[in-house]
Amino acid sequence: MRVLESLAKLCAILAGVLLTGITLMTCASLIGRNTTGHSIVGAFELTGVAAGAAIALFMPLCQIRRGNIIVDFFTASLPERVNDKFDRIGALLLFVVFALLAWRSTLGGINVWQSNSETQIMGFPEWVVYAFMVPAFALSALIGLWQAVFGFGGTKPEDPVAAAQEAVQ
């Protein structure tokens, strides 16, 4: 699990770099447009491309930290072992979903690569986005499978309010 966690953190760092890059590019484009009248042509295309890749790259860390939404209204009062079984079933379902996403994204990436599909304004190759998304989805699937088979190692889903309060202190 340590290897999977390290890879998930690496994916999240890469996603953060992508988001920082598009933030800086957007700022430069806005400053240029408002001061000199010239903006970065196709900046919105790159923003969409990078944002899509970043979202996929955040998924493995979200899965490892059990950051997905859990609706436990009906199961909160059940015994811990029952909730653990439900959590494992949920992880197995997420494995299936992420495996399907990885598979279909692979096919989509191959398709856009073979057809030389590019964005309209900048001509940015669309297969690059798939090259970021497929490994992230596959890693998320592996993490979900690991959690379904071996459990969560005693970790509970993070309480976002408690985590925010702890971060402030």
Return the pLDDT at 156: 57
CA gap 26, 10 in Å, rounded: 24
- Count, residues in the chain: 169
Specify the long-range contacts of residues 97-101, CB closer than 8 Å, at least 24 apart.
98/59, 98/63, 98/137, 98/138, 98/140, 98/141, 98/144, 99/137, 99/138, 99/141, 101/133, 101/137, 101/141
> pTM (2 decimals)?
0.82
Return the pLDDT at 165: 54
pLDDT in tens, 110-169: 999 999 999 888 888 999 999 999 999 999 999 999 999 998 875 555 555 555 555 555
Give the pLDDT band of residue 9 (cuts 50, 70, 90). very high
Crossing angle (nearest 10°) for helices 2-35 and 127-150: 150
- State what percent of residues in the chain have pLDDT above 70: 91
Q: C-alpha distances in angstroms, 95 versus 39, 83, 154? A: 42, 18, 20
